[in-house]
Structure 1
Amino acid sequence: MAAINWALVAPLIAIEAILLIVALIDLARIHATNGPKWVWAIVIIFVSIIGPILYFIFGRKTS
C-alpha cells in the first residue's frame, strides 16, 4: 500500500464518488429513462467510472 501514489489516486476516487452520487440522485428524480431504471442503477453502481457517464449520455430520455 505504501507504493500507491495517493496524489494521483485520491482525485480519481473523489470524481468517481461524485459521479456515482449525482447519477443515482438524477436516476431517482427522473421519470423516464431509455430502458428500465433498475438496469441503469446496476450500470451506474457496478461499471465504475464509466457507468455514470454512460447513464448521462445514453440513459436519460430527452423530451
Structure 2
Amino acid sequence: MEILAQYWLFILPLFVIQLALALTALVHVLRHPHYRFGTKGLWIIIVLLLNTIGPIVYFVFGRGEEE
C-alpha cells in the first residue's frame, strides 16, 4: 500500500487524462456518423476496451471528415 501512496500524485493525473480522452472519443463516435474505417459499434468497442490506445487509434485512423 505504501507504493500506491508514494506514486499517487503521478497516477491520478494519468488516470484523469486517460478518462478524459476516452470520454471525448466516445462522445465524438456517438455524435458523428462518418468514419474512415469501420462502423459506430466497432469504434465504441475499440474506444472502451483499448483504454488509452483505443481513443488515440480512433482519432488517428477512424475519425471521418467533418461536415
TM-score (norm 2): 0.85
1:13: which partner in 2? 15
- Unaligned 5+ segments in structure 2 are none
Compute the displacement of 1:62 (Å). Answer: 2.5
Q: What fraction of aligned residue pairs are identical, expressed as a percent? A: 35
Compute the displacement of 1:2 (Å). Answer: 2.8
Q: Residues of 1 paired with 2:65 and 2:8: CA distance?
A: 39
Structure having the higher Rg: 2
Compute the displacement of 1:61 (Å). Answer: 1.5
- Unaligned 5+ segments in structure 1 are none
1:50: which partner in 2? 53
TM-score (norm 1): 0.90
Letter in 1 for 2:49: F
The structure carrying a bigger helix percent of its residues is 2
Secondary structure of residue in 2 paired with 1:31: coil
Taking only aligned residues, the RMSD between alpha carbons, in angstroms, comes to 1.1
| Aligned length in residues | 63
Compute the displacement of 1:32 (Å). Answer: 1.1
Contact 2:33 2:40 in 1 (8 A): no
